Structure 1
């Protein structure tokens, strides 16, 4: 946790972009409504629009009305709006940063040695912002400034190391907040409690009882207006290397010595270091990629990936990736972790599925394939819930079983969902780094997927397709270790 006063300014670069519009501004508004922003905290929107402050405030009001819905309150908005200033400028224009520094140095704001700089911009623009901030007089010698960067952090292990080196020229590691919004989701945070606060769960959370683990992040939507970024990144870099690998570490980590930020992240790094390296000649047995073709989603005909606006017609960028990993440590040796993510799938869903082994003696069925295994299912979205699937006797004269579901949900009907960015932005403001990613986590995650990146770069044309609106190609099932393994498409 931070020591000393909190930040006096919160600067949003790319303030009119998609991320700021849909996530950051609504989350900050909700924090203000909850009384969690300090009275002296000023918000500065930095964007290319040739606007005055009045123009920005009109835009802000429309954004909040659209993205907070019934939660929009005129009195709260007016209080929130008074926090704002607007600076017009291009990210690559040094003069714009001098205007920003002039705004930050206005007497009415007072002296400030603690500023949050949120880079809600393309990863390719990160260093332009950092270099220009330094030229304008912001560096590690000035107070406790914090810089927040979005994923992906680099495009491969070499670019990630280079970006980290450049960031560290101006900011210490303690000042860098690498954000992964999946770590802010309630179900993911609840997994820590579910595992480590329950004697019923933790003793069976190992290779002796668990058959395999599945992690799925499925998206019904396509790439939207992100073709410029997505066609260069693909599903492996955009989702699996960061979101899904982070979920894997939370499932597999050992109990930390404390809830201190570094204690938590130390255990996650141990998991990444324990993942069995994939030999280059075995990549196709451990990872699979595909690209969506035209199909039907929600009763609506949608184009294939190559027919999306601004996508190269010859593109072989993957929109679906499935991979298999093994964590070679005492707890998980031999347990496969199946990870899957894709766009234009049957529906949007994020799910962690823990499948348990069959009982050693099947007393109630003649054959193993006639009894369903036990599962723990942790749904991250759209519904935040936890379920345990067990067998119970079916009512009647015969001794037969059926699967019953125990609801382990933690949210009461009167409790609304918590937006992940709301949690993470408050942590940035309060200086709590527990849910943010340390660079060695980034580096080891890239080491895990780097053989896949390199092999696929050598085989750019070997990309399967799948109809939009399905659960992906059947060929992805070749990753399973056994015939009775199958993807869970429901929570």
Structure 2
């Protein structure tokens, strides 16, 4: 699939996402010579900047992320343009249409990146459509939308209804940067390119699967947004449910985008609905209190800026799901995410069933640890298989040993998720972007939890900052022997 030259139009180009992710990612694509010849990057912003000022700003954004190659920077700078305009005023779009039609430097293929508030998606698209900027008479038009896509099921459906007045589903690229991470894509390779584990990948051998995304940071300057969203919307409904679909799905017919996404939707459709009266048995929420992180005392969530003293917004959310299909019937899937936790990491932990113990009944081996397959997504990218082995010596004692496969060799650099995804937009490869029915069914999964928590405003559990979350979340587990797996290292090491 070849990338064609295009004009990348970035709304919100002077904002945080552009500064931290988009501009450095586009520059690194240019370093790797992956940006097609003639590609242009047109920034839309309110600030009264000229061309030179925008190039200087872009240079600062890139420099903050590492080394600069002056030759590449010169080539990259020639791609940059700035268009001053207020996205709430129609004049901005009339002038933009005139600029794109008049200036022969801009390729006719256009990708619009909406790095803006979700409440602005609809109005911006309406203005773009009014000014014929979605017409594909002379080249393709694609629109990249950042999450969150809606606030709940109703708002997601309303937003979809509005934007589908202007765009076809093929033109919409709903970005979940988590799916651009190399290790997430490696999950697909791990599962479908290695026949060794496939016969074991089912309810007969797997006891349960855990997904953990923990952060040591708090809410930083996002108080107003975060207090209206919470951990369930921010992470579980999007990133972790996506990981679950990749781990649980059937092998797709091919790696072609629609085949892959069809299988992910089948998983979401197969998740057992949570009845309102069973929410507390399937979900747990909590809020971080005061504590210590990396030796420094940190304040509680309620002491953060822009957080009301009565807030019961969760900074920790966990849930238990079942997938009612032939492969996974009866296997619990545990998902958790939290801020101000003991360690920042994303992991998938697959716990296998205990072997029959009769073979060891006359030995000192009382109870062996189950086998685990561990996938580190970030910051450590690895695959580990834990096995029980006999310790050297005359006694019949065992210990856990792990087979480690690092995803990356020491001389191979990491690639930011946005580099992958921005390039996929140029290629028209939608496999790592979300189709609307995926978004819709993910909202259906969490809707009963959101509705129940919205009513219960009197109390929320707390956990000390710097811990692994609230002890009471253990009540989600089906068996006494199950517990949260927080380390990629075997216990006792």
Q: TM-score, normalised by structure 1?
A: 0.96
Distance 1:49 1:223 in 2: 27
- Candidates 16, 20, 27, aligned match of 2:14: 16
- Pair 419,277 (structure 1): closer, same or farther in 2 beyond 3 Å: same
Shift of 1:89: 2.2
Whether the aligned pair in 2 keeps the contact of 1:242 and 1:445 (CA below 8 Å) is yes
Moved more, 408-417 or 347-356: 408-417
- Candidates 387, 391, 396, aligned match of 2:384: 387
Equivalent position of 2:491 in the other structure: none
Check if 1:416 corresponds to 2:424.
Answer: no
Distance 2:439 2:465 in 1: 31
Equivalent position of 1:50 in the other structure: 48
Distance 2:311 2:5 in 1: 44
Q: For 2:463, what is the secondary structure of its paired residue?
A: strand
Q: For 1:370, what is the secondary structure of its paired residue?
A: coil
Whether the aligned pair in 1 keeps the contact of 2:192 and 2:251 (CA below 8 Å) is yes
Equivalent position of 1:259 in the other structure: 255
State the Cα deviation string for residues 34-77 of structure 1 (Å, max 9, x = none).
Answer: 0000111110111222211221111111111111x13x212111
Moved more, 130-139 or 277-286: 130-139
- Candidates 118, 126, 148, aligned match of 2:121: 126
- Pair 367,426 (structure 1): closer, same or farther in 2 beyond 3 Å: farther
Moved more, 360-369 or 399-408: 360-369
Mapping 1:390-401, distance limit 5 Å: 390-401=387-398
Q: TM-score, normalised by structure 2?
A: 0.95
Whether the aligned pair in 2 keeps the contact of 1:324 and 1:479 (CA below 8 Å) is yes
Equivalent position of 1:249 in the other structure: 245
Paired residues in the alignment total: 486
Whether the aligned pair in 2 keeps the contact of 1:140 and 1:171 (CA below 8 Å) is no
- Candidates 153, 157, 162, aligned match of 2:149: 153
Equivalent position of 1:92 in the other structure: 88
Shift of 1:327: 0.3
Shift of 1:115: 0.5
Shift of 1:370: 3.2
State the Cα deviation string for residues 361-382 of structure 1 (Å, max 9, x = none).
Answer: 3534779973211000000000
Whether the aligned pair in 2 keeps the contact of 1:272 and 1:444 (CA below 8 Å) is yes
Distance 1:93 1:218 in 2: 40
Equivalent position of 1:293 in the other structure: 289
Check if 1:195 corresponds to 2:191.
Answer: yes
Shift of 1:100: 2.1
- Candidates 32, 36, 39, aligned match of 1:38: 36
Distance 1:331 1:90 in 2: 52
Distance 1:216 1:40 in 2: 42
Whether the aligned pair in 1 keeps the contact of 2:7 and 2:107 (CA below 8 Å) is no
Shift of 1:303: 1.4
Whether the aligned pair in 2 keeps the contact of 1:156 and 1:446 (CA below 8 Å) is yes
Whether the aligned pair in 2 keeps the contact of 1:140 and 1:170 (CA below 8 Å) is no
Equivalent position of 1:238 in the other structure: 234
- Candidates 210, 213, 217, aligned match of 1:217: 213
Q: For 1:108, what is the secondary structure of its paired residue?
A: coil
Shift of 1:152: 1.4
Distance 2:469 2:173 in 1: 34
- Pair 91,461 (structure 1): closer, same or farther in 2 beyond 3 Å: farther
Whether the aligned pair in 2 keeps the contact of 1:155 and 1:237 (CA below 8 Å) is yes
Whether the aligned pair in 2 keeps the contact of 1:364 and 1:401 (CA below 8 Å) is no
Distance 1:438 1:353 in 2: 27
Moved more, 355-364 or 442-451: 355-364
Moved more, 284-293 or 142-151: 142-151
Q: Which runs of 5 or more structure 1 residues have no equivalent in the other structure?
A: none
Check if 1:104 corresponds to 2:92.
Answer: no
- Pair 367,432 (structure 1): closer, same or farther in 2 beyond 3 Å: farther
Distance 1:137 1:157 in 2: 30
Distance 1:373 1:208 in 2: 14
- Structure 1 residue runs of 4 or more that deviate by more than 3 Å after TM superposition: 140-143, 362-370
Whether the aligned pair in 2 keeps the contact of 1:214 and 1:339 (CA below 8 Å) is yes
Distance 2:106 2:348 in 1: 48
State the Cα deviation string for residues 396-442 of structure 1 (Å, max 9, x = none).
Answer: 11121110010122321211112111111110111000111100101
Distance 1:50 1:310 in 2: 30
Shift of 1:146: 0.3
Whether the aligned pair in 1 keeps the contact of 2:5 and 2:426 (CA below 8 Å) is yes
Shift of 1:111: 6.1
